[in-house]
Amino acid sequence: MRFSVPLSVLLHGGAVMAMVYAGPMSPRESLYVPPVPIELITEAELAELLSVPETVKAPEPDPAPEPEPVVPEDPLPEPDPLPDVVPTEAPVPPPTPAPPPEESEEVAPEPDPAPEPAPEPTPALEPEPVARPKPPETLDLAALESALKDLNPDAAQTRAPTVISEGAAQADRNQARIGEGGELTIREEDLFRARMYECWNPDLGVPGATDLVVEVNILLNRDGTLIGAPEVVNNDQINRSGNSYWRAARSRALTAVEKCAPYDFLDPSRYNNWREITFNFNPEEY
Amino acid sequence: MLKRYIYLQTISLFIISFLALSPSGVSITTVQAQEVPRIDITRGRSEPMPIAIPDFIAATARTETLSTQITDVIEANLERSGLFRPINEQAFIQKELQSINVKPRFVDWRQINATVLVAGEVTEQPDGRVQVAVRLWDVFGNQQLGTIAFKTPQDNWRRAAHKVSDFVYSALTGETGYFDTRIVYVGETGPRDDRTKRLMIMDQDGANPSILTDGLNYDVLTPRFSPTRQQITYLALFDDRPAQVYLFNIETGEQEALGVYRGMTFAPRFTPDGDNVLLSVEENGNADVARMNLRTRRMQKLTSHPAIDTSPSMSPAGDQITFASDRGGSQQIYVMNQDGSNQRRITFGDGVYGTPVWSPRGDMIAFTRQYKSRFYIGVVRPDGTGERLLTESYLDEGPTWSPNGRVLMFFREDRPGGPVSLYSIDLTGQNLRAVPTATEASDPAWSPTLN
């Protein structure tokens, strides 16, 4: 009881202080202000505003089904193609393991600080580069071929043949087919799933989330690093659908595959079995 | 001669065998290609996407302040959506971006696990306005995802920040953003038995709160935004006469009763084209759903059932209407064609269902459900399947959809007599957030995206 008076003083004082600092409980009595307009700068305008001129590239036949704004595409003049910009349809990576993408990334800055008038190979303003396969960097036969294929999206997905290392080819010829080439053990599948669980971040709140299946095909080096860019097997289907959620899902699947690399948890002696994998991203209902 | 023949034979054999060898290599791969192991990935870690948003590049002191403010608003927006996790700038390895036109060092951003990088620039224009330009980089794909730029008066920077947030959100989720929007709600002040209820408006993030109606001789309930105009419809609750549906022009402050009836009109909601208001009309103790054309002021009854039919809400396609009715005993959710035909019940759970609201995306109907003195907000597909409850408390009411149909806002009283306040939740049931308001608040209504 004898503490009640000081306690009361303390509590009341605290309450008064709180009221002073918290301020009056009424909203700011401001008047309604209608929204001030905001001006969207068009792609073309912005392109002009950019301080760095775009490198102009020789016109290349690009009869892609999706009409893109007429802007030069990703004019990176690269002397040697990096593994991560190798066109999907690129011919045959060498049988020896390509340098891991991480390392080559570090080498990449090389073309950047060119002291030329066109210093920065800025990628062109592309509204939705996700919406289509990576454009080939140079005008070559492979590019032409892939462009032609785009004209016929229903054609079966073909992929440039990959040279198998000699040993693998031999093994295929000499050994019994059972258990050889392209069969994973349950454990290997589980390892892939566990790894992918960490890397894949599906957005389950979009409409029809469980229908937005994305198939991604990857080629692996013996050390588990990716050979080239992952290929979206149902790319044409996604493009044709015009479904922006599906395109976002594709983007997330590709990120997952890149993020999970290197796939260094696999037994190199079974390289034949896991050097090419197709992931079928197919989210469950939440 | 013979020697030469043998020689040729050898060569051709050699060539043939060489030719035979190389295509055989190809054919083996083709066989293999058909046997590529497929791994079904059905589960991932659905979590906020890590995103790096360094302070936008600014050349002058003034734009530097502005750029910090803009990036703060963008970060807060994206974080609040529950779909993104902005990375603390302390963790950044590449501290300075010289220009948004230079490719960032992707390795540096990959190392801190940023999935995307938002690089922006704020520059002053000769006319005194500012330009905000942004590039979005896919860190793991080493490529640009998109770019956008705005020009706006300096003190309108918040809207520019919201526009950029919308751009980022839309590029990464595939749906339109909802950050450049406003919320109308009922601000409540005073003691329980003598409440003052005023119509308030604020930005979606709680900024710029202001009063829309003041000093009225009636209370304002259930405000609903027009999907096409700066217009609101609400229920005016009088002391001395039946409640009436009103129209309110936000820009002029003009108010008008929507028709004059002997009975009561209530539960108004605009149709998606903004040309009609669906509402409930009460006559002789029976309520039916009706449509009022705002141009002709003609009213057309859509239901005529001795039970109480109320809370109509039209599908975004305009072909169907959902409403609540107690014709089956307890109040449940129904769907009918827009002309009132083909009325069918879609919910069959225990308790009382009410306030159905059709998602702007069309795929879901939100509702409130009361069961054993608890309230729930849930969603159900228009065909009645997939019912899910997202929230629960002593009182959860008044769900309103974000214009992209991804988020629901509602109001909550978490204990009897407790304060009422606004909350939002993601359609997946994740990310429940309190929406801060200066006073107690109820009946939120989400605006369409501003132009």
Span B421-450, pLDDT tens digits: 999 999 999 999 999 999 999 999 999 988
Cβ atoms B46, A203 nearer than 8 A: yes
Task: Give the range among A105-109, B9-13, B197-201, B390-394 with minimum mean pLDDT.
Answer: A105-109
What are residue B301's DSSP bridge partners?
Answer: B290
Residue of A34 and A208 predicted with greater confidence: A208
**Would you say A196 and A255 are in contact if contact means Cβ atoms under 8 Å apart?**
no
Residue of A nearest to B27 (CA): A161
Range with top average pLDDT, A125-134, A157-166, B267-276? B267-276
Provide the pLDDT for residue B196: 87
pLDDT in tens, A211-262: 999 999 999 999 999 999 999 999 999 999 999 999 999 999 999 999 999 9
Least Cα separation, residue A138 to chain B (angstroms):
17
Cα separation, A148 vs A60, in Å, equals 12
Judged by CB atoms closer than 8 Å, whether chains meet at A258 and B172 is answered as no
- The predicted pLDDT at position A217 comes to 95
In which residue are the tokens 């609201």 written? B357
Kindly indicate the confidence band of residue A4, based on its pLDDT and cuts at 50, 70 and 90: low
- Judged against a pLDDT cut of 60, whether residue A90 lies above it is answered with no
* pLDDT higher than threshold 50 for residue A54: no
Nearest to B411 by CA among B444, B388, B369, B378: B444
Give residue-wise pLDDT tens across range B251-306.
888 889 987 677 789 999 999 999 999 999 998 889 999 999 999 989 999 999 99
More confident residue, B7 or A167: B7
Tell me whether residue A165 is exposed, middle or buried, using C-beta atoms within 10 angstroms of its C-beta: 0 to 12, 13 to 18, 19 or more. middle
Integer CA distances (angstroms), A156 to A87, A216, A237, in order: 18, 15, 11
Instruction: Test A49 with B106 for CB contact under 8 angstroms.
Output: no
Chain B residues close to A121, C-beta within 8 Å: 103
What is the tens place of the pLDDT at every residue in B127-156?
989 999 999 999 998 989 999 999 999 999
| Mean pLDDT (chain B, rounded) | 90
**B residues 39-68 near A, CB within 8 Å?**
39-47, 49
Residue A244 gets the label, from left (phi > 0), alpha (psi -120 to 50) or beta, of: alpha
Q: Is A245 in Cβ contact with B174 (below 8 Å)?
A: yes
Q: How far apart are the C-alpha atoms of A248 and A242, rounded to whole Å? A: 11
Q: How many residues does chain B have?
A: 451
Cα-Cα-Cα-Cα torsion B36, A275, A160, A279, nearest 10 degrees, comes to: 50
Asked if B441 contacts B188 with a C-beta cutoff of 8 angstroms, the reply is yes
Q: Mind telling me how many Å the CA of B350 is from chain A's nearest CA?
A: 23
Is the link from the previous residue into A61 a cis peptide, with omega within 30 of 0? no
Out of A118-122, A281-285, B26-30, B83-87, the most confident range is B83-87
- The residue with greater pLDDT, A81 or B328, is B328
Question: ∠A240-A241-A244 over CA atoms, to 5°?
Answer: 115
% of chain A with per-residue pLDDT over 90: 26
Going by pLDDT thresholds of 50, 70 and 90, the confidence category of residue A84 is very low
Q: Do A258 and B427 touch (CB under 8 A)?
A: no
So what's the pLDDT on residue B215?
73
Query: Which residues in chain B are contacts of A129 at CB distance < 8 A?
Result: 143-146
| 3-class secondary structure, B14 | helix
Determine the residue of chain B that is closest to A252 in CA distance.
B172
- Closest-approach residue (CA) in chain B for A126: B146
Average pLDDT over residues B324-353: 96
Tell me the nearest-neighbour CA distance from B294 into chain A, angstroms: 23
In whole angstroms, give the CA distance from residue B435 to residue B82. 14
Q: What is the pLDDT of residue B7?
A: 55
CA distance A82 to chain B (A): 11
Residue B26 has pLDDT above 70, yes or no: no
Q: With bands split at pLDDT 50, 70 and 90, how would you rate the model's confidence at B8?
A: low
Contacts of A230 in chain B (CB under 8 A): none
| Lookup result for tokens 């589960």 | B43
Q: Which of A29, A38, A193 sits opposite B150 (nearest CB)?
A: A38
Q: How many CB pairs under 8 A join A and B?
A: 253
Q: Which chain B residue has the Cα nearest residue A258? A: B140
Report pLDDT for A40: 77
The pLDDT assigned to B204 comes to: 95
Task: Please give the backbone phi and psi of residue A252, each rounded to the nearest 5 degrees, phi first.
Answer: -70, -35
Please tell me which of the candidates B41, B201, B230 has its beta carbon nearest to residue A200.
Answer: B41
Distance (Å) from the C-alpha of residue B42 to the closest C-alpha of chain A?
Answer: 4
In which band, very low, low, confident or very high, does the pLDDT at B402 lie, cut at 50, 70 and 90? very high
Nearest to B107 by CA among B148, B140, B66, B145: B140
Q: Cα A273–A274–A275 angle (5° rounding)?
A: 105
By Cβ distance, the residue of B42, B83, B131 closest to A283 is: B42
What is residue B109's predicted lDDT score, i.e. its pLDDT? 95
A35 pLDDT above the threshold of 60: yes
Q: Which of B21, B32, B200 to mutate to test the interface with A (most CBs of A within 10 A)?
A: B32
The letter for the amino acid at A108 is A
Give residue A15's pLDDT: 58
As a whole number of angstroms, the distance between CA A85 and CA A83 comes to 6
Instruction: Determine which of A78, A251, A271, A280 to mutate to test the interface with B (most B C-beta atoms within 10 Å).
Output: A251
Q: At residue A120, does pLDDT exceed 70?
A: no
